[in-house]
Structure 1
Amino acid sequence: MSILTETYPLSNGVEIPRLGLGTWFIDDDDAAEAVREAARIGYRHVDTAQAYGNERGVGEGVRTCGVAREDLFVSTKLAAEIKDYDDAVAAIDGSLTTMGLDYIDLMLIHSPQPWNDWRGGDYAEGNRAAWRGLEEALQAGKLRSIGVSNFLENDVENLLATAEVVPHVNQLLVHVGNTPADLLAFCATKDIRVQAYSPIAHGEMLKNAAVATMADRYGVTVPQLCIRYTLQLGTVSLPKTANPEHMQANAEVDFVISDEDMAALLSTEKIRDYGEHTFFPVYSGK
């Protein structure tokens, strides 16, 4: 069985494909073709966000890829700056309109703080207000599942203080060299499925000699080893690429990393410098 046909059940019974296509850094004009290529290869899960600026193209790709809409899983995210109910409601409808879709399979709050105050002030009330908008859209059938992204344990607990629906998903930075084991365990106790974005550490893992040596032993590439690692952690893996050859290779991960090697990857020294990309809040180390 190909990884592209495998799914996890979310806590509400919705099935989410274990491997998806991330679309961060794919231009809007190129997104539709990327989605069509991914669908041709066999991908059934595509992830975007209002902040990516490519919802229009992703939606076009979903509508024109030749795969029945009900066989695709499409996720997007509320802009991190949206911290009130009215703006959340408007943004949910805005994503549906921009993408040209009748429903979205998963919508997340992109961050517990606006990007310009990453890991900064207290936005608990704003997140609760935005979450109420997501809950209502879920009830109305506009969304099939809802979740959060970049939420730490206290952020989730603050949300749960008033939430009627426990987040179905928490999308986190998870890769060799950054495995938040305690947070993964916490999410598991709440039946929150974790999605791993940047499973190749935004390319930084390609520079790791020890990981390259291990990949050679398995007869796979570094990206394939890193993607498989996140899958064996029990997360949904979201490697991002617009290159069809990379899409194909990223899906060729039907091998098993031994327990010993998983432990070695888990203990890999934490990445603290993402080079030219460190200026992005999610890579800043905060």
Structure 2
Amino acid sequence: MSEVLESTTTELAPGVHVPLIGLGTWPMVGEDAADAVNRAINNGYRHIDTAENYGNEEAVGEGIRRSGIARQDIFITTKFNRDWHSRDGVGTAFERSAARLGVDYLDLFLVHWPNPVLGRFVEACEGLQQLADDGVIRAWGVSNFKPAHLLAVERAGLTVPVNQVQVDPAHGQPEQLAFHREHGIATGAYSPLGRNGDFLASPAITGAAQELARTPGQIVLRWHVQQGRIATPKSASDTRQRQNLDVFGFELTADQLAAINALETGAPPRLDSDTFGH
């Protein structure tokens, strides 16, 4: 097979390109997180995903500094909690996350959960847009927003650049992703390899892995990035970190993609963002 030339990033805002593969850091904390981030960067990662609620922003910042790679060469994504769901509160959330990470700007700042019972997620998005206008964050987005939540933000006159949601072959969320495509919203996939990995043993995945001389995990990550999704698998293993990055330069066929899509169970995300949030 001839080498496939393709982009390993997608554009969220003018000039803001996010690597399609990032390192997820939940539930790592402390030295475990700092060490994993340092090694990941030295294994080639340039996108690190964290959150206020993970309790590891300080460790992630330490890992980035320990790597010796310049700040501007690392794309940092973090997320803030419902305590800051107001226009002014988002500014405080930024200041605290930036201080914990030891940085003076963020590449991508997300509303972690909509918490619709509070009724203030639109205000939070307005605050994020102001931070972007002020130049202290390069791009903003949301996480775990259903189409109804996204429509409420759009009605306020805002364009949502990205929504990070749970997506894997068993939880493909086809209606959610169709909404994203129709509205020009990039999809971030957290837990992209699933929680228990049962589908990794499916013939749809193991067959493609055998044909392409790849691991099942690489096949699933290729399924994500080939469809333009930003995937952030968590790994503290050097071998798996390198494997997770090595998903470019080959392609799944239309039939292979369709076979993996067919693993969709119709199951909803693990947590319902209309009732769960922090």
Post-superposition offset of 1:178: 1.5
TM-aligned CA distance change 1:249 to 1:80, over 3 Å: farther
Partner of 2:202: 209
Q: Note the 1:176-195 alignment, pairs <5 A.
A: 176-195=169-188
Q: Note the 1:132-143 alignment, pairs <5 A.
A: 132-143=126-137
TM-aligned CA distance change 1:267 to 1:179, over 3 Å: same
**1:230-276 Cα distance to aligned partner (Å, 9 max, x none):** 111211111111222210111122321110110111111417499xx
Partner of 1:118: none
CA contact (8 A) 1:194 1:236 kept: yes
- Distance, in Å, in 2 between the alignment partners of 1:236 and 1:142 is 22
- Distance, in Å, in 2 between the alignment partners of 1:2 and 1:81 is 45
Partner of 2:262: 267
**1:45-83 Cα distance to aligned partner (Å, 9 max, x none):** 000011111000111122231111111100000114543
- Distance, in Å, in 2 between the alignment partners of 1:15 and 1:2 is 20
- Distance, in Å, in 1 between the alignment partners of 2:268 and 2:207 is 21
Aligned partner of residue 180 in structure 2, secondary structure: helix
Post-superposition offset of 1:85: 3.1
Post-superposition offset of 1:40: 0.8
Superposition misfits of 4+ residues, deviation over 6 angstroms: 1-5
CA contact (8 A) 1:4 1:17 kept: no
User: CA RMSD of the aligned region, Å?
Assistant: 2.6
- Distance, in Å, in 2 between the alignment partners of 1:173 and 1:42 is 24
Aligned match of 1:48 in 37, 47, 50?
Answer: 50
- Distance, in Å, in 2 between the alignment partners of 1:261 and 1:122 is 41
Task: State which drifts further: 58-67 or 2-11.
Answer: 2-11
> What is the percentage of aligned positions where both structures have the same residue?
32
Task: State which drifts further: 73-82 or 265-274.
Answer: 265-274
TM-aligned CA distance change 1:222 to 1:102, over 3 Å: same
Q: Note the 1:248-259 alignment, pairs <5 A.
A: 248-254=242-248, 255-259=250-254
Q: Could you state the TM-score of these two structures normalised by the residue count of structure 2? A: 0.88
2:9 is aligned with 1:7:
yes
* Structure 1 unpaired stretches of 5+: 114-120
Q: Note the 1:52-201 alignment, pairs <5 A.
A: 52-80=54-82, 82-113=84-115, 121-123=116-118, 125-163=119-157, 165-201=158-194
Task: State which drifts further: 43-52 or 81-90.
Answer: 81-90
TM-aligned CA distance change 1:142 to 1:2, over 3 Å: farther
- Distance, in Å, in 1 between the alignment partners of 2:94 and 2:27 is 22
CA contact (8 A) 1:23 1:31 kept: yes
Aligned partner of residue 18 in structure 2, secondary structure: strand
**1:118-162 Cα distance to aligned partner (Å, 9 max, x none):** xxx544x40012112212221222110000011111110111222
- Distance, in Å, in 2 between the alignment partners of 1:4 and 1:55 is 32
* Structure 2 unpaired stretches of 5+: none
- Distance, in Å, in 2 between the alignment partners of 1:177 and 1:87 is 36
Post-superposition offset of 1:104: 0.5
- Distance, in Å, in 1 between the alignment partners of 2:206 and 2:257 is 14
Provide the aligned length of Structure 1 versus Structure 2. Answer: 271
Aligned partner of residue 106 in structure 2, secondary structure: coil
- Distance, in Å, in 2 between the alignment partners of 1:4 and 1:87 is 39
Partner of 1:32: 34
- Distance, in Å, in 2 between the alignment partners of 1:103 and 1:240 is 24
Aligned partner of residue 147 in structure 1, secondary structure: strand
TM-aligned CA distance change 1:2 to 1:43, over 3 Å: farther
- Distance, in Å, in 1 between the alignment partners of 2:113 and 2:235 is 22
One-letter amino acid of the structure 1 residue matched with residue 93 of structure 2: A
One-letter amino acid of the structure 1 residue matched with residue 231 of structure 2: S
CA contact (8 A) 2:170 2:199 kept: no
- Distance, in Å, in 2 between the alignment partners of 1:56 and 1:265 is 37
CA contact (8 A) 2:142 2:160 kept: yes
CA contact (8 A) 1:174 1:199 kept: yes
Task: State which drifts further: 235-244 or 60-69.
Answer: 60-69
